[in-house]
Structure 1
Amino acid sequence: MPETVEVDPSDESENLVEVIVGQQAIADRFAQLLNETQERLLVLDRPPYAAETEKSDSRVRGLLREGVKVRGIYSPDSLDVPGGVDEAYSAADAGETSRVHPQVPMKLAVFDNTAALLSLSVGQLVDSALVVHPCALLDALIEMFSLLWEQAVPVVPAKLDPLDARLMTLLAAGFKDDAIARHLSLSSRTVGRRVADLMETLGSRTRFQAGVHAQRRRLLEGA
């Protein structure tokens, strides 16, 4: 006969995951976790965004001033929203170590390796999320972030002029010439020419490969 296993009522396994419902509840829990962060914050950034994004950004800037290490991986969609590229550069200027990856699978924040906030939303509103406490799932989320980090390309180029720096960021994110032209207020023809020049300089056959080569050749800042 199969052995019957009795569950200890004091077992804490049921407390490993919290379900948060509602934009305000998610914003409040996120703020609480940020305020408790002392060493490191890891973020996967992609839309949709909660209603209090500006307040969250301000709190993250505060963590940077306090010496907390912040790493952010941006999706192409996050750069494509109005002001997205400027915001990514602003975060980098404030001390965030930022990278861009063409396939960010989810919205995620990991606080000091002790908790993670994971969005469950698939529509235009952030209305449900999970808080994951120390367990195998949290370890897996941190490992996933590390793997994406290794594949991603730094947002802020170091040895390019400002225009080519932003072009390289958008290029590595997978943007087409028309979208890059729109973000940089250039003609598509000018963008095409500058992309071709960069790819020739880097010896790259593909656009994303150009970003990877730039990183390896230290034309981009990394951390």
Structure 2
Amino acid sequence: MDGQPSSADDRVTRSLYARMHQRGESLPEAADELGLAAAEIDRARDQLTRLDLLNPETQTAADVTVTLKRTLQNTHRLLDGLVEQHVRTAALAKHYLRLPEQADNHAHIEFFPWLNRSDQLSERINELAELAEIEVLGMHPIAAWTRESLEEGLARSETTMRNGVRMRALHAQIALSNPLIREFMGRWRRLDIEVRVAPVIPTRMLIYDRRTAVVQADPHDPEAGSILIRGGSLVKSLAAIYDYCWTTASEPDDVPRSADGVTLTEQQRAVLRMLAAGQKDSAIARSMGVSTRTVTRLVGELTAMLGASSRFQAGVRAARLGLLDVS
């Protein structure tokens, strides 16, 4: 039965891990010395796997410090909710623009519906790019890019860079699997535009001189329109969030790339998420409502597709490639 481990199971797991860590024994060796029953061993193994405290290849204890460091490196994912909260707050503000009372009297907010976004918003973005004096920060999730739209953006960036403005761009890691994006990423970098990639890009956003921001009204719905926020503390908060995302992101050359055109079905993505969490085929099958044989087949296919040497590595590699975070 799935759920939180009992206090007894927790004590067994801690004792088992302590012995493995102190004596350098593998899980089977330590369990044998402690005289644990098969069911206790299975529950302890599942718990250590969930906590990322078990090396799947050697069945030995993973170092707690290394595990904590890896966990902290992933905390930027928690920022997704904070970014969405800020953006939704801005979206709500559009309904109260006519009220004389404003929470921030120095902020000016404009809403751009999706229907006229391509005209009015593009004009405003061009104006902001020309007026930028210090820096332009961009956050770009996966989109239906075309060569025409990318050329247009590149021309705008060239103008901005000629004015001595620093430009930084955050992209989703999975974008590296798109040859068109890889081509333009090289062109951006030759212009001295700084580019980094991350597994998760929470929303689309542009920030100009930390005074003006253009954000997607709803991170989950591009057709919900966009919001321009000028001045006020909200833009400073968004810039601070951007800085954190930038710090935890990677240089493109440091990120492994999947083969061009690699895509996953929702079923494959669900299996990989559970593999990365260390779940067994039987647990994955129950969660998905399919047979264990089906899960075993999917795991074999995914392991081969990702060039992984183990099921756990397949899940981890997919997460590093950003494949698990594409909606």
- TM-score class, shorter: 0.5 to 0.7
Q: In 1, Cα distance between the equivalents of 2:224 and 2:150?
A: 14
Q: Gapped runs of 5+ residues in structure 1?
A: 1-6, 158-167, 196-205, 212-223
Alignment of 1:62-211 (within 5 A): 62-120=159-217, 128-155=225-252, 157=253, 168-169=254-255, 171=256, 180-182=258-260, 192=307, 207=317
Which secondary structure does the structure 1 equivalent of 2:182 belong to?
Answer: helix
Q: Which has the higher helix share?
A: 2
2:116 maps to 1:24: no
Contact kept in structure 2, 1:119 and 1:129, CA below 8 Å: yes
Cα distance in structure 2, aligned partners of 1:123 and 1:105: 9
Change (3 A) 1:209 1:74: same
Query: 1 or 2, which has the higher strand percentage?
Result: 1
Post-superposition offset of 1:207: 4.6
Q: CA deviation at 1:24?
A: 1.2
Larger radius of gyration: 2
Cα distance in 2, alignment partners of residues 105 and 27 from structure 1: 22
Residue 199 of structure 1 corresponds to none
Q: 1:27 to 1:47 in 2, by over 3 A?
A: farther
Q: Is the 8 A contact 2:174 2:199 kept in 1?
A: no
- Partners of 1:100 and 1:152 within 8 A in 2: yes
Structure 1 contact 45–78 (Cα < 8 Å) conserved: no
Q: Which moved more, 1:14-23 or 1:48-57?
A: 48-57
Structure with the larger RCO, 1 or 2 (CA within 8 Å, 6+ apart) = 1
Structure 1 contact 118–129 (Cα < 8 Å) conserved? yes
Query: In 2, Cα distance between the equivalents of 1:49 and 1:181?
Result: 19
Which AA in structure 2 matches 1:35? E
What CA distance in whole angstroms lies between the structure 1 residues aligned with 2:248 and 2:107? 33
Aligned with 1:45 (options 140, 153, 177): 140
Deviation (angstroms), 1:124: 8.1
Give the CA RMSD over aligned residues: 3.9
CA distance in 2, matches of 1:55, 1:126: 21
Q: Is the 8 A contact 1:69 1:96 kept in 2?
A: yes
Q: What letter matches 2:249 in structure 1?
A: A
Counterpart of 1:161 in structure 2 is none
Q: What is the TM-score of this pair, normalised by structure 2? A: 0.45
Task: Tell me, yes or no, if the aligned pair for 1:107 and 1:118 is still in contact at 8 Å.
Answer: yes
TM-score by length of 1: 0.63
Residues 1:11 and 1:54: Cα distance change in structure 2 (over 3 Å):
same
**AA partner of residue 55 (structure 1):** E
- How far, CA to CA, are the matches of 1:209 and 1:46 in structure 2? 16
Q: Which amino acid aligns with 1:110?
A: I
- 1:35, 1:126 → 2: CA distance? 26
Equivalents in 2 of 1:36, 1:113: separation in Å?
13
The one-letter amino acid of 2:210's match is N
